[in-house]
Amino acid sequence: CNGSLGHFLLGDFAQAKVYAKRVLAKNPANENAYSLLVQMSPDAQDFAEIEAQIPKIFENSLEVAFALGLVARKRRVFLKAKEWFTAALKRIGQEDPADIKGVLGETYLEAAVEEESILHDPQVGEKRGEDLRHAVGLMSEAWAAIADSEIKSHRISWIANRALAKMVLDDFSGALA
């Protein structure tokens, strides 16, 4: 699976798929290989079709749930992205949930501000306001978990996006904090 991941990170998806399929041929239960295949789903493929193709063996997989969340978010299917990231968060176990919380918070923010008018509209609806507050909470928790680590420079978007959400909620002093 490391070969597949390496090619994936280098953007060589054709080779990454070859290696992931080899891994799955030897070990059909390898959730890391399957999650890479999910992330390499063709852009033209409908998200519902991707979901429908998930084998039963991966129904409770943290890695596959997170990959589905990433693909749904990329395709701007925010309801499904939130659903899959939430499922991944529930499956986290003893691992650090910071990345999932950060990405889930950003997804709530993206969904809430999808309409450009929200940035200029002083009236934030109750549901949208609730989603924005939830996004702020998730990104704050995620940032608190990594603030003293070396990874923080790679997650700075959580702070910027949290500030944006606070601005939309008219919490200007909180946005600057």
Amino acid at residue number 126: E
Q: Please enumerate in sequence order all residues whose Cβ is within 8 A of that of 61, keeping only pairs 6 or more positions apart, or say none.
A: 31, 34, 35, 91
Amino acid at residue number 38: V
Q: How far apart are CA 105 and CA 113, in angstroms?
A: 12
**DSSP class of 27:** -
| Under 8 Å between Cβ of 168 and 119 | yes
- Tens of pLDDT, residue by residue over 60-81, are 899 999 999 999 999 999 999 9
Give the global pTM. 0.86
Residue with tokens 């659903």: 83
pLDDT of 15 above 80: no
- Tens of pLDDT, residue by residue over 30-64, are 898 889 889 999 889 999 999 998 888 888 899 99
Q: How far apart are CA 176 and CA 172, in angstroms?
A: 6
pLDDT-based confidence at residue 174 (cuts at 50, 70, 90): confident
